[in-house]
Amino acid sequence: MASDDVKKDEGREAAVKAAEEAAERAKKAAAAAHDADNAAADAGREAEYDADHASAKAVQEAATRAGDEAGKAHDAAKAAKAAADEAAKLAREADEADDDAAVREASGKAKEAADRAEAAAEQAKAACSVAAEAASEAGRAKIASDDERGYGEEHVGEESLPKERRPALYLAEFDTPDACMKAAERVRDAGYRDWDVHTPYPVHGMEHAMGLKGTQLGWVAMAAGMVGLATAVFMITFMNASEWEILGFRGYPLVVGGKPPGAFPSMVPIMFELSILLTGFGTLFGLFHFARLPRHHHPVFESERFAAASDDKFFISIETVDPKFDLDGTRELLESLAPTHLELVEEEA
Amino acid sequence: MSADVDVIKELGERPIYPEDTSLRHVTESVSRVTENPAPRGWWMLFIPSLALTGGLFASIAYLVTFGIGSWGNNHPVGWAWDITNFVWWIGIGHAGTLISAILYLFRQKWRTSINRFAEAMTIFAVMQAGLFPALHTGRPWFDYYLFPIPNQMGIWPNFKSPLMWDVFAVSTYMTISIIFWYVGLIPDLATIRDRSKSRIRKAAYGFFALGWRGSTRHWLHYERAYLIFAAISTPLVLSVHSVVSFDFATSVIPGWHTTIFPPYFVAGAVFSGFALVMTLMLIARQVFSMQDLVSIKHLELMNKFMLATSLMVGYAYAMEFFVAWYSGNEYEQWVFLHNRLGLRDGEGNIGPYWWAYFAMVFCNVVVPQTFWSKRLRTSIPWMFVATILINIGMWFERFVIIVTSIHRDYLPSAWGMYWPTAIDIMLYVGTFGFFMTLFLLFIRWLPMIAIAEVKAALPHAQPHHDDTAHGAAHAPIAAE
């Protein structure tokens, strides 16, 4: 009996192990498919851009092909992801199943799912390379058509064409600072980089909810203040207590009230005032530098609802330039944060 | 939601703003002033102010054409209304900085309803103040000699002169006040920009809002910048009136040559500035019906401040007499007993300016004592009268210090009297017109209450951390 048990266990262990391996394989395949999908999507966008900016038929056709292939790659990647999920689930089932038969069955199914995932990944890769090919073809065709029409980057009569728009950012709206802060923590944990929280007044702790580092403004202000202090000492010493000649200007040692020309106590008020003055300027321009102000144009202003950010609403924006940005994935994330309103803001391409 | 409110209630206090004040309500009640046509009360103040401004520039033209002999200043009273007005206006400005900077450092959240208003007052008051010494030079087109600019004569300014320190102190004060005020305005300009319907308003407010989008990445640096401005403005405001007092204290004139001047001047400056903030706020909240944002609680706190600073100046008045007696210096004693109190001299002559001294003591020390009574310090008609009396008293304080000290000095053969001329009066009254004109334009076109700051101080504005892990994570931040 004991030996049977051991044998049974060994068999079971092998099956579970096989299932786990299959799940791992499926996961890798899904990741590859995901990469291929991203690359295909990029190629698709590139081709679409070319098509939008050139009217030649060859460009349009190539672009359409690239778009189609990108769609295929996306479907394949989805299939790969589904298969991988299934494989993982089956592997878990195999691990938890009570009787050997079930274990073996689950393990077999997991293997099958892994195979499917790998096949889908292959498909995605193939679609991706076709899409890339089509995109570069579209690019070449565009250059050719541009050359033919005698212009490069400048587009004659572009203003007569309708302005094309492309997604710039997602804008999620919240009614309360609490909801916005909790949502910001989730976005921070998801690892986004080019995103922001917009509030009508400074919400305390939001910078930590966003995972921002503290400001270095104080150092700038202090450095500027020290420059002011040194300027005052130098200026007074040069003008009232020296005979130095600097750039053709001459200092003059001035004796007033029987005090020595460089009497320190009488320098103090102006040393102080100039330190304050330059600290003020340092802080102002430091603020402009760190906050990247003035900046009068930003895609976020394209949203009609955004005006409420300076009134009574709280917003989270995630920009498309973020490396983790994904039209569907990011939307899913933001939807899961239960905003009162969510929109995709577009800017002029 | 109301954790903070509960704490406040537990302490037996009431939140500054009603618990149900919404963010929208704050935006609305402040922004609408800039959007709606001006109420009749505004025009009733603006037109006379503009007329007085005309009077100011006419009298400046007269003064520059005929010279400062058209003032009543003459030996031995070389400094009279011009310097009195300069010190008075600078002092008025100090309340603005005190409210915006010092109360900020002490985390007095009630300041948010009045700080914008008071900061604007600072800037406009310093503009009036600057006029007087600039004109007193006699040939104002040579005023650039005051700055260390290389010139054809190869002469540098004398940096040992307190008047030179004044140039640096006042111009720094003016610059920093403008920067502080503008930085505070940026988020509120964005609010008005976002509400604007017309293209011109959008462009104008939008330009100065610098593209502010309420980003936490902005607020992070902005709040630190604000803290730095508050931290540098606090010693700055103390230094400015100290430097102004050095103009007198470093001289050897009995009545001027005292070490108590810097703190005495600063306390007096805050006192008179608070009084003027109150006078203007009482009018503005009435004209623009903002009684809920500037509540009776705010006004009562302001009155308590005035009571405290009144006691400080009262102490300084008494201490001057003590020092005159204790020093054993008979010239000093003469100034205080004869020139100020008006006691008879050996020949039985009375000091001719006794009434100025008693007006000063009555307005600055006696009147504010009524604020010990809760009924009087919450009575709007009384506080309106009291704040005007305090400003008259503070003007007399500077007049007393300047004129009574120099009109009768060491040699009786050199004594003289000072009486103002029509140009003196016109110039002073004209600065009121100019000040009010600028001020009325400000409340008409710019948000007169700091919208973002009031919002941040509302009872429900800050998220409260209900789950413990969250709260723990934030604990060290709160301490910062």
Using the Cβ of B152 and the Cβ atoms of chain A, whether some distance falls under 8 Å is answered with no
* Among B302, B336, B313, CA closest to B261: B313
pLDDT band of residue B59 (cuts 50, 70, 90) is: very high
Return the amino acid letter for B420: P
Q: For residue range A233-265, what is the model confidence (pLDDT) as tens digits?
A: 999 999 999 999 888 888 999 898 888 888 899
pLDDT of B456-470, one tens digit each?
A: 888 778 886 544 344
Per-residue model confidence (pLDDT) at position B141 = 92
Tally the C-alpha atoms within 13 A of residue B11's C-alpha that lie toward its C-beta. Answer: 8
Average pLDDT of the residues in A185-214:
90
At residue B216's C-alpha, the angle toward residues B211 and B218, to 5°, is 45
The residue of chain B with its CA nearest to that of A237 is: B159
Q: Are strands A341-348 and A245-246 parallel, antiparallel or unpaired?
A: unpaired
Per-residue pLDDT, B228: 94
The rounded mean pLDDT for chain B is 88
Q: Write the ipTM.
A: 0.89
Question: Exposed, middle or buried: residue B355 (CB in 10 Å: 0-12, 13-18, 19+)?
Answer: exposed
Inform me whether the pLDDT recorded for A201 exceeds 70: yes
Average pLDDT over residues A143-170: 60
Contact A291 B158 (CB under 8 A): no
- B193 in A contact zone (CB under 8 Å): yes
Peptide bond before residue A260 is cis, with ω within 30 degrees of 0: no
Chain A interface includes B396 (CB < 8 A): no
pLDDT digits (tens, 9 = 90+) for B173-192: 999 999 999 999 999 999 99
A positions 242-261 inside 8 Å of B (CB):
249-252, 254, 256-257, 259
Interface residue B452 vs chain A (CB under 8 A) = yes
User: What CA–CA distance (Å, rounded) separates B380 from B40?
Assistant: 22
* Phi, psi (deg, nearest 5) at residue B77: -95, 85
Residue of B nearest to A233 (CA): B159
Residue B40 scores a pLDDT above 50: yes
* Rounded (10°) angle between helices B422-445 and B115-136: 150
Is the CB of A254 less than 8 angstroms away from the CB of B160? yes
Q: What is the pLDDT of residue A49?
A: 64
Asked if B30 reaches chain A (Cβ–Cβ under 8 Å), the answer is no
Residues of chain B in contact with residue A203, where contact means CB-CB under 8 angstroms, are: 216, 219, 456, 461-463
Confidence of residue B15 (pLDDT cuts 50, 70, 90): low
Interface test with B, best of A240, A267, A273, A305 (most B CBs within 10 A): A273
How confident is the model at residue A348, as a pLDDT?
82
A31 at interface of B, judged by CB pairs closer than 8 A? no
For residues A294-322, give the mean pLDDT: 89
A174 and A180 in contact (C-beta within 8 Å)? yes
Best mutation target among B171, B243, B454, B462 (most A Cβ atoms within 10 Å) is: B462
* pLDDT of res. B203: 92
Taken in order A299, A300, A305, A306, the sign of the CA dihedral is negative
Of B194, B216, B478, the CB nearest to A311: B194
**Interface membership of B195 toward A (CB under 8 Å):** yes
Cα–Cα distance measured from residue B88 to residue B257, given in angstroms and rounded to the nearest whole number: 19
pLDDT band with cut points at 50, 70 and 90 for residue B9: low
Which chain B residues contact residue A269 at CB under 8 A? 162, 165, 168-169, 239, 243, 246
- pLDDT (tens digit, 9 = 90+) per residue, A78-95? 887 787 788 777 777 777
Answer whether A269 sits within 8 Å of B148, measured CB to CB: no
Q: Could you tell me the pLDDT band of residue B128, with boundaries at 50, 70 and 90?
A: very high
**Residue A158 confidence (pLDDT) above 80:** no
Sign of dihedral through CA atoms B174, B177, B182, B185? Answer: negative
* Of B240 and B286, more confident: B240
Q: Do the Cβ atoms of B160 and A263 come within 8 Å?
A: yes
In 3D, which of A221, A244, A234, A243 has the Cα closest to residue A267? A234
- Overall average pLDDT of the B253-278 stretch: 91
For chain A, the first-to-last Cα distance in angstroms comes to 74
Residues on chain A touching B165 (C-beta within 8 angstroms): 269-270, 273
Residues of B in contact with A225 (CB under 8 A): 232
Q: Say which residue, A99 or B445, is predicted with more confidence.
A: B445
State which residue of chain B sits closest to A291, comparing Cα positions: B218
Task: Give the pLDDT score at B479.
Answer: 29
Q: Which residues of B touch A208 (CB under 8 A)?
A: 473-474, 477
pLDDT at B462: 80
Backbone φ and ψ of A166, nearest 5°: -130, 155
